[in-house]
């Protein structure tokens, strides 16, 4: 007889799933007591052998049909497994079922959150539309326990109405793991003969920021054109996990797409690489690994990030010629202070510890 499921883990991004698994296991939850809901597109996600999985079928590209199916699948799994806890990113789906099944809910927020004035996702926008301030049900940062990576996120969530006592800082859990020897990303062999510029995107379109999405795409095309004249530089694109943009029409000898998992991507970074991004959690994680980072901006992107840039003293480059000169080493890169973004790693979650001891 299989052990009872104690916890269900679910997220649409591989990194979240793996880190929530890591946190759960480090707090004593047995592998065979964990059920992972694997979303379409996560077929290759590697999980421990004894962790049970349910794979969503790939039956449509319509996101509304997928969300509807996901709602009923999650309800069915709750009904049949009766877990004591779920560990997810935030969603109204989970909160709606929590009212019925009365489980404990832990949410994990891996991305850096800087400006609490931003409205991300359906629930926050609905809250703003209905003029509901700090509504517990609609607040995506309100659950029994909120797990996140740094002090800036904690301040953000408190400003959003999350009780401070509910927030636990764990630091980016992958930082405790050594990077393996450099691997090949998408069969593209790292070379010391050319300098690699890696453009890390943001998922603006996913969050409804269409102007910023178009600005990012336009900037990338202009950057490609500028760099095409330099045979000593290769341009790569590393997509945000929720960026659904098809960049294949840009792919050529001068620009390549990297879609390898974060852990492998980290192992491909060379000392000569330069990261270009409007803002990115991964870029700051790479800065923690001593990568060279250039933040660029546009008038459109300033509407989203200017307050955060000012608050954290991040200097951006708008002019492409200045950016190219910086890439080529003719201008000095700005140093970034990382102490505000990441906390010391401590994966102790009292709720999980108590769950691991229960029958």
201 or 116: which leads in pLDDT = 201
Note whether 162 and 271 are same-domain residues: no
Per-residue confidence (pLDDT) for residue 35, from 0 to 100: 96
- The reply to whether 255 and 352 lie within a common domain is no
- The Cα–Cα gap between 28 and 201 comes to 36
167 and 247 in a common domain = no
pLDDT band per the 50, 70, 90 thresholds, residue 77: very high
Question: Strand, helix or coil at 16?
Answer: helix
Q: What is the CATH number of the domain that holds 320?
A: 3.40.50
44 pLDDT above the threshold of 70: yes
Could you tell me if 33 and 81 are in contact, meaning their C-beta atoms sit under 8 angstroms apart? Answer: no
Domain containing 231 equals 195-327
Sequence-distant (≥ 6) Cβ neighbours of residue 311 within 8 angstroms: 114, 115
- Candidates 342, 333, 245; CA nearest to 296 is 333
Partner residues linked to 188 by β-bridges? 185
Does one domain contain both 84 and 230? no
Report if residue 90 sits inside a domain: yes
Tens of pLDDT, residue by residue over 157-167, are: 998 889 999 99
Q: Are residues 21 and 157 in the same domain?
A: yes
User: Is 334 within a domain?
Assistant: no
Helix/strand/coil for 52: strand
Which pLDDT value is given to residue 29? 95
Same domain (yes/no): 147, 216: no
Domain-located, residue 178:
no
- Quick one: pLDDT at residue 234? 85
Distance, in Å, from the CA atom of 44 to the CA atom of 157, rounded to the nearest integer, reads 33
Output the six-digit token pair for 205. Answer: 């379109």
Instruction: Give the span between the Cα atoms of 289 and 237, in whole angstroms.
Output: 19
Q: Which of 312, 93, 305, 60 is nearest to 204 (CA)?
A: 305
Q: Is 239 helix (H, G, I), strand (E, B) or coil?
A: coil
Average pLDDT over residues 100-113: 90
322 and 347 housed in the same domain: no
Same domain, 15 and 159: yes
Q: Sign of the C-alpha dihedral, residues 177, 347, 29, 282?
A: negative
Q: Model-level pTM?
A: 0.79
Rounded Cα–Cα distance for residues 7 and 31 (Å): 10
pLDDT: which is higher, 173 or 276: 276
Number of domains comprising the chain: 2
> Same domain, yes or no, for 166 and 287?
no
Residues 323 and 347 in one domain: no
CA distance 54 to 58: 13
CATH code at position 12: 3.40.50.2000
Identify the pLDDT of residue 164: 93
Residue 126 token pair:
């609905």
Structure tokens at 329: 């080493």
- pLDDT-above-90 percentage for the chain: 24
Say what the pLDDT of residue 187 is. 45
The verdict on residue 338 lying in a domain is no
Are residue 160 and residue 302 in the same domain, yes or no? no
Q: Is residue 188 assigned to a domain?
A: no
- Do 240 and 160 share a domain, yes or no? no
- Report if residue 186 sits inside a domain: no
| 181 within domain boundaries | no
User: What tokens were used for 100?
Assistant: 């019925």
Q: What is the helix (H) or strand (E) element at residue 78, kind and residue range?
A: helix 63-81
- Using DSSP, state whether 195 is helix, strand or coil: strand
């Amino acid at each position: 007889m299989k052990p009872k499921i104690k916890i269900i883990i679910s997220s649409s991004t591989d990194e979240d799933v793996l880190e929530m698994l890591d946190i759960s296991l480090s707090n004593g939850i047995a592998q065979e007591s964990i059920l992972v809901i694997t979303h379409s597109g996560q077929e290759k996600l590697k999980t421990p052998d004894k962790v049970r999985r349910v794979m969503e079928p790939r039956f449509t590209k319509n996101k509304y049909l997928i969300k509807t199916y996901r709602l009923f699948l999650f309800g069915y799994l709750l009904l049949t497994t009766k877990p004591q806890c779920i560990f997810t990113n935030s969603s109204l789906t989970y909160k709606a079922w929590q009212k019925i099944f009365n489980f404990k809910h832990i949410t994990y927020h891996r991305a850096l959150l800087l400006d609490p004035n931003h409205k991300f996702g359906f629930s926050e926008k609905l809250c703003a539309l209905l003029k509901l301030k700090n509504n517990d049900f609609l607040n995506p940062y309100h659950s029994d326990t909120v797990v996140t990576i740094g002090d800036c996120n904690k301040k953000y969530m408190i400003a959003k109405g999350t009780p401070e006592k509910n927030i636990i800082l764990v630091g980016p859990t992958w930082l405790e793991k050594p990077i393996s020897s450099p691997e090949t990303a998408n069969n593209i062999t790292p070379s010391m003969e050319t300098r690699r510029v890696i453009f890390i995107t943001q998922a603006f379109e996913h969050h409804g920021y269409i102007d910023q999405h178009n600005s990012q795409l336009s900037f990338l095309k202009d950057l490609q054109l500028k760099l095409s004249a330099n045979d000593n530089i290769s341009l790569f694109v590393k997509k945000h996990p929720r960026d659904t943009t098809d960049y294949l029409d840009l792919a050529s000898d001068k620009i390549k797409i990297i879609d390898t998992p974060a852990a492998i991507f980290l192992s491909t970074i060379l000392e000569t690489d330069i990261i270009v991004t409007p803002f990115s959690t991964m870029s700051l994680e790479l800065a923690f690994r001593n990568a060279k980072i250039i933040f660029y901006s546009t008038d459109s992107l300033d509407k989203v990030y200017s307050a955060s840039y000012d608050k954290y003293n991040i200097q951006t480059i708008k002019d492409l010629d200045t950016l190219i000169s910086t890439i080529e080493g003719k201008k000095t890169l700005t140093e970034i202070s990382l102490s505000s973004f990441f906390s010391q790693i401590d994966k102790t979650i009292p709720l999980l510890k108590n769950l691991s001891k229960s029958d």
